[in-house]
Amino acid sequence: MPAPRCFQVTFLTASVIAIVLLATMPSQVAYGQEGQERIIGDRVIVARIDGVIDRALEEMVDDVITRAERERSLVVFEINTPGGLLESAMNIGIRIDTARVPVVVFVVEKWAESAGSLILVTSHVAAMQPGTIIGSMQPIQYDPTTGNYRPVNESKIINPILKFLEERAGNKGRNVTAIKLFVTENLNLGAREALEMGVIDYVATDLNDLLRQMNGTTVKMPYTGDVFLIRTDGASIERYEPQLRIRIAHALSDPMLTSLFMTLGITIILFSLLSGHLAITPVGVLLLLLGMIGSGYSLNMTTLFLLVLGIVLIAVEMFVTPGFGIVGATGIVMLALGIALLPVSGGYNFSPQYARQFLYAAYGTGAILGSLTAVAVYKVIQVRKKKPFTWDPRGKTGKAVDDLEPGGEGFVFLEGEYWRARTMGARIPKGSRVRVVDKEGPVLIVEPLEEQEQPNRPGGEEGIGGQPS
């Protein structure tokens, strides 16, 4: 027994030493890596934020930053916007601020007012082109149905915005005092003024000039504590192309279109309900849903509504009101928009070549199906425009199969068919030629042909019943 006991003590001692070493090693390694400088900038992803800030752009920014984090790339957002939704701007600012790679926001062409200024000051590196302006961040309440707006001065709304800017812009060392004036006084600054007041970091004529000025500088990430050394010598620049879903949703977010869609949608729905023309109600619902996308309603929920309503309307057109009308056409439009607005990113990592081939295949399939649908619709419309076929026997001639007494009925032979017939005038003997003058239900009203109208036949030819015709 002494040997096994000695073995147990030795094993226990070795295990304790190993546990102690393993417990102390991670802290030493982590401490050694904390604040380590990393190099970034050999690859630069450039994306465009243009027009109204909305949920579509919010989704695009998240997609760009997620991809840059995966590929360890520097991100540059070129921004040119009059403003937009406050909630979307704040969400974009949070996503930029908490990114694991440096994010640069570069004001180009005209301006980055209101919500655009909020996005600019929360970026890790802020830059402007000469001649561009920023500022005017006072929030407003906007009514999409009328297009009217009013400034918001309530401290319950203003103070959280000021605190947000203090936290998200102050952690980059920016001049928070001047930035707060954007909200309280609607201050506007040009590029040189913003640089002198410490609101931005660079004034650059174009993207290449900006990358040249940033080369060799360091950026500290406020949340991860990482320090990045930017090296843009010979950097490869890739332009980000947003998905079709984002393009459609962003185009629908134009305030003019939003007001138009909401007003028309509500008007058409009310008119259809009050007038009893319920077939046009789906058109109003479609316009209302498009207006909801522009007014900031959830894009995913709107997509779901479009898909479900599209399927329901097509089913109603096929099984309840057979044919092809406005209900079915609206259902097809809803279904097509719903498919186009489906999210296709997130959770999948395809190569660019595969994604491009898949996109071309989808476009080709859609074009073929769309062409076939267009041909089918054209044929249906052609058939609908044609007058229905009606057979009119009046004026046609035939032969009496029976003796037709005045007021009585018998049969006549007309164009290869036997018809019940009745004469309202003189008696018509069997085998005589008759002319149809009218039709009452399944019964033909006939009259005898005049003798001079009857065709001459060779002598001895017999007609029906063996009588000479």
Which pLDDT tens digit goes with each residue over 323-349?
Answer: 557 888 888 889 888 888 887 644 344
pLDDT in tens, 278-301: 889 999 999 999 988 877 788 888
Report the amino acid identity of residue 15. S
pLDDT at residue 384 in the model: 66
Averaged pLDDT for residues 370-395: 70
Confidence of residue 467 (pLDDT cuts 50, 70, 90): very low
Q: Do strands 103-113 and 133-135 pair parallel, antiparallel, or not at all (unpaired)?
A: parallel
Alpha carbon distance 127, 63 (integer Å): 22
Higher pLDDT, 404 or 143: 404
pLDDT in tens, 172-197: 999 999 999 999 999 999 999 999 99
**3-class SS at 417?**
strand
Averaged pLDDT for residues 431-444: 86
**229 alpha-carbon distance from chain centroid:** 39
Sign of the torsion angle spanned by Cα atoms 314, 320, 321, 327: negative
Name the one residue in this structure whose structure tokens are 């802290």: 27
Q: Which CATH number fits domain 37-241: 3.40.640.10, 1.10.3720.10, 3.90.226.10, 3.30.750.24?
A: 3.90.226.10
pTM of the model: 0.66
Tokens standing for residue 20: 């102690």
Those residues whose C-beta lies under 8 Å from the C-beta of residue 255, and which sit 6 or more positions away, are 52, 142, 144, 147, 294
pLDDT at residue 204 in the model: 97
Instruction: Report phi then psi at 243, rounded to 5.
Output: -70, 160
Those residues whose C-beta lies under 8 Å from the C-beta of residue 122, and which sit 6 or more positions away, are 93, 94, 96, 97, 165, 168, 169, 172
Alpha carbon distance 215, 234 (integer Å): 11
Residue 48 has, within 13 A of its CA and on its CB side, a CA count of 14
Confidence of residue 447 (pLDDT cuts 50, 70, 90): confident
Kindly tell me if the per-residue pLDDT of 12 is higher than 90: no
Confidence of residue 112 (pLDDT cuts 50, 70, 90): very high
Kindly tell me if the per-residue pLDDT of 451 is higher than 60: no
pLDDT in tens, 30-89: 323 444 579 999 999 999 999 999 999 999 999 999 999 999 999 999 999 999 999 999
Kindly tell me if the per-residue pLDDT of 158 is higher than 50: yes
On whether the CB atoms of residues 136 and 117 are closer than 8 A, the answer is yes
Residue 231: burial class (beta carbons within 10 Å; 0-12, 13-18, 19+) = middle
On whether the CB atoms of residues 331 and 314 are closer than 8 A, the answer is yes
Those residues whose C-beta lies under 8 Å from the C-beta of residue 174, and which sit 6 or more positions away, are 121, 126, 198, 199
Averaged pLDDT for residues 95-104: 96
Kindly tell me if the per-residue pLDDT of 269 is higher than 60: yes
Superfamily of domain 397-466: Nucleic acid-binding proteins (2.40.50.140)
Helix intervals (H) in 253-298: 255-275, 281-294
pLDDT at residue 2 in the model: 41
Q: How many of the other CB atoms lie within 10 Å of CB of 367? A: 10
Kindly tell me if the per-residue pLDDT of 259 is higher than 70: yes
pLDDT in tens, 199-244: 999 999 999 999 999 999 999 998 888 999 999 999 999 999 998 8
Domain boundaries, the chain: 37-241, 245-349, 397-466
Instruction: Report phi then psi at 39, rounded to 5.
Output: -100, 135
pLDDT at residue 359 in the model: 55
Distances (CA, A) of 141 to 98, 148, 149, 184: 28, 8, 5, 16
Kindly tell me if the per-residue pLDDT of 363 is higher than 80: no
Alpha carbon distance 292, 121 (integer Å): 29
Instruction: Report phi then psi at 100, rounded to 5.
Output: -95, 5
**3-class SS at 321?**
coil
Alpha carbon distance 196, 178 (integer Å): 11
What is the DSSP track for 102-133?
Answer: -EEEEEEEEEEETHHHHHHHTSSEEEE-TT-E
Kindly tell me if the per-residue pLDDT of 91 is higher than 80: yes
Name the one residue in this structure whose structure tokens are 């309202």: 424
Kindly tell me if the per-residue pLDDT of 464 is higher than 50: no
Distances (CA, A) of 419 to 186, 406, 413, 414: 91, 17, 6, 7
